[in-house]
Amino acid sequence: MPSKKLENFSRRNPQVAPYVQKLADYIRWLSEQGIEELVPRVAAVQLSISEADTLGLLSVFQDAGLVEPRYQLVCKPTGSVLGSYRSLKEIPDEIECNVCGKKHDAEDLRVDLVFKITQGRAADAAA
């Protein structure tokens, strides 16, 4: 386990512990691949659990400082990520799209929640 908090959580919730371990393994695998962001929908498929359950687990990892939520602003017509924000409040109502070359408002935009993996950085800091 990469963190004491996760260990404690797993001890208190033995029925969830195998999924905590699976998610920890998956996050480690992602960082080994040089992938910095976890997509909850994809993680849910990897763990064979629902996306809601995955988000529940991720909140434990977030408490443990291993991941941070990021809100990605996506151009709907092209599926391109235009920006990444720490909170919903930071997201602009309108944005000049550098892919379409047009100004987009809420109609053309979608917000995806992803989790930035901070585990590697934390490990470096501890080393």
Among 20, 23, 27, 75, binds Zn ion (CB under 5 A): 75
Window of 12-20, 41-49, 71-79, 118-126 that interacts with Zn ion by CB under 5 A: 71-79
Number of residues counted as binding Zn ion (CB under 5 A): 4
Q: Give the shortest CB-6-to-Zn ion separation in angstroms.
A: 39
Q: Which is nearer to Zn ion, 55 or 100 (CB)?
A: 100
Please give the radius of gyration of the chain, using alpha carbons only, rounded to the nearest integer: 17
Which two structure tokens, joined as six digits, stand for 3?
Answer: 């963190």
Q: Which is nearer to Zn ion, 100 or 122 (CB)?
A: 100
Q: Is 81 in the site for Zn ion (CB under 5 A)?
A: no
Q: Is 44 in the site for Zn ion (CB under 5 A)?
A: no
Window of 18-26, 30-38, 65-73, 97-105 that interacts with Zn ion by CB under 5 A: 97-105
Among 47, 91, 95, 100, binds Zn ion (CB under 5 A): 100
Q: How far apart are the first and last CA of the chain?
A: 16
